[in-house]
């Protein structure tokens, strides 16, 4: 079969892993938003991810929002008229970081035209059925997120810490990912400060996405972040930047555990990243987080509960120390969350239509 994805693999290990799994299953795969809008090749499957990125692609062509919506609708109608199976993977509850009403409309439009909705957990199915009436009429399937073996590279813990200028003798907690407001960095720091552990050390790492504020406020935030990065701190280290695949391996291998602090979310790629790199996880009970961490060493706390997060951090950190920093075995988790299983579930659902 020919499968068209609305994404291209560059810089996105999720999409690259998915494409590779489709190819391994014997299918022809091509991608990119440009093909969605312009190609006259009829695929057997159209697999849509992050509809707002279609907006980003079209906005670069200087089209209006209304023209974009009309084009999305006409293209979906064309694929439907060609008996193409339309699949939409639901990564977020609404368009990611988009303030445009048209992005929300496109999100709903794509759900309406989809034959199959792919979720990363059963809770996601229930949430979408409440939020979007069209979702209830679709074939909803659950496919775990998938691993990040495509980015995996072993780096000795001490070597990784030396490269990043991190203390060798500390229990290092990593908060990783693009720095968005809903990821609750103040909460992460507050919980860390409440953690009763002498050897504790926190890393906050990832590109900082500035909120839509005035020039003056933005300047103040940039200045603050610059000071955080350059001024010495005995217990906290900031890396406000993106990471290459090699750098990703270094920072995960330097850490002893991974800490997420979101007050709300549906999915997070950091969870499967942590399990792939064999790092225990402390996370809030939101969205698909708990299901994503089944079969993996982790501690869960109620979202927004600083004391609960600190206690969960302590449990994991003490466990890591008691096991002499030996990494847990992730074989069971990898088997349950393989891309082969992910793609197999999708293709079986297409056959069942």
pLDDT digits (tens, 9 = 90+) for 273-301: 999 999 999 999 999 999 999 999 999 99
Q: Is 209 exposed, middle or buried (0-12, 13-18, 19+ CB in 10 A)?
A: exposed
Quote the pLDDT of residue 69: 84
Residue of 261, 339, 231, 337 whose CA lies nearest to 293:
337
Cα-to-chain-centroid distance, residue 157? 24
Residue of 111, 148, 142 whose CA lies nearest to 342:
142
Pairing verdict, β 139-142 and 281-284: unpaired
Work out the pLDDT band at 211, boundaries 50, 70, 90.
confident
Q: Are 339 and 14 in contact (CB under 8 A)?
A: no
Answer with the residue of higher pLDDT: 39 or 182.
Answer: 39
pLDDT tens digits, residue range 82-97? 999 999 999 998 766 5
Domain ranges of the chain: 2-146+338-352, 149-335
DSSP class of residue 151? G
Quote the pLDDT of residue 352: 95
- Asked if the model's pLDDT at residue 38 lies above 60, the reply is yes
- Does the domain at residues 2-146+338-352 carry the CATH identifier 3.40.50.2000? yes
Quote the pLDDT of residue 99: 53
Query: What class, spelled out in words, does domain 149-335 have in CATH?
Result: alpha beta
- Asked if the model's pLDDT at residue 70 lies above 90, the reply is no
- Asked if the model's pLDDT at residue 162 lies above 90, the reply is yes
Q: Are 117 and 71 in contact (CB under 8 A)?
A: no
pTM: 0.90
Q: Which residues contact 73 (CB under 8 A, 6 or more apart)?
A: 109
Residue of 17, 13, 53, 14 whose CA lies nearest to 32:
53
Quote the pLDDT of residue 71: 87
137-146, 175-184, 274-283: lowest mean pLDDT where?
175-184
- Asked if the model's pLDDT at residue 182 lies above 80, the reply is no
Q: Are 336 and 299 in contact (CB under 8 A)?
A: no
Average pLDDT over residues 70-81: 93
């Amino acid at each position: 079969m020919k499968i068209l994805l609305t994404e291209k693999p560059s810089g996105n290990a999720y999409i690259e892993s998915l494409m590779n799994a489709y190819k391994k299953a014997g299918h022809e795969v091509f991608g990119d938003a440009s093909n969605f809008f312009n190609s006259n090749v009829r695929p057997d499957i159209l697999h849509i991810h992050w509809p707002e990125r279609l907006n980003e692609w079209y906005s670069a062509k200087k089209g209006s929002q209304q023209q974009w919506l009309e084009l999305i609708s006409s293209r979906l109608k064309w694929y439907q008229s060609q008996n193409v199976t339309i699949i939409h993977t639901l990564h977020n509850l609404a368009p990611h970081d988009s303030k445009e009403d048209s992005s929300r409309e496109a999100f709903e439009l794509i759900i309406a035209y989809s034959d199959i909705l792919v979720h990363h957990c059963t809770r996601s199915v229930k949430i979408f059925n409440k939020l979007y009436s069209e979702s209830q009429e679709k074939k909803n399937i659950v496919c775990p997120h998938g691993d990040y073996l495509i980015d995996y590279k072993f780096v000795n813990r001490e070597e990784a810490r030396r490269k990043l200028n991190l203390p060798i003798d500390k229990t290092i907690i990593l908060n990783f990912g693009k720095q968005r407001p809903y990821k609750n960095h103040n909460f992460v720091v507050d919980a860390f400060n409440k953690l009763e552990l002498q050897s504790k050390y926190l890393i906050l790492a990832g590109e900082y996405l500035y909120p839509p504020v005035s020039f003056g406020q933005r300047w103040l935030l940039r200045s603050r972040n610059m000071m955080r990065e350059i001024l010495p701190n005995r217990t906290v280290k900031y890396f406000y930047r993106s990471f290459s695949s090699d750098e990703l391996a270094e920072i995960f291998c330097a850490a002893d555990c991974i800490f997420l602090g979101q007050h709300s979310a549906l999915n997070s790629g950091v969870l499967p990243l942590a399990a792939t790199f064999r790092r225990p996880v402390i996370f809030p009970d939101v969205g698909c987080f708990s299901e994503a961490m089944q079969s993996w060493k982790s501690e869960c706390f109620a979202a927004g509960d600083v004391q609960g997060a600190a206690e969960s951090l302590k449990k994991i950190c003490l466990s890591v120390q008691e096991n002499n920093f030996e990494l847990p075995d992730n074989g069971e988790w990898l088997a349950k969350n393989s891309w082969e299983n992910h793609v197999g579930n999708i293709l079986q659902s297409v056959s069942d239509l």
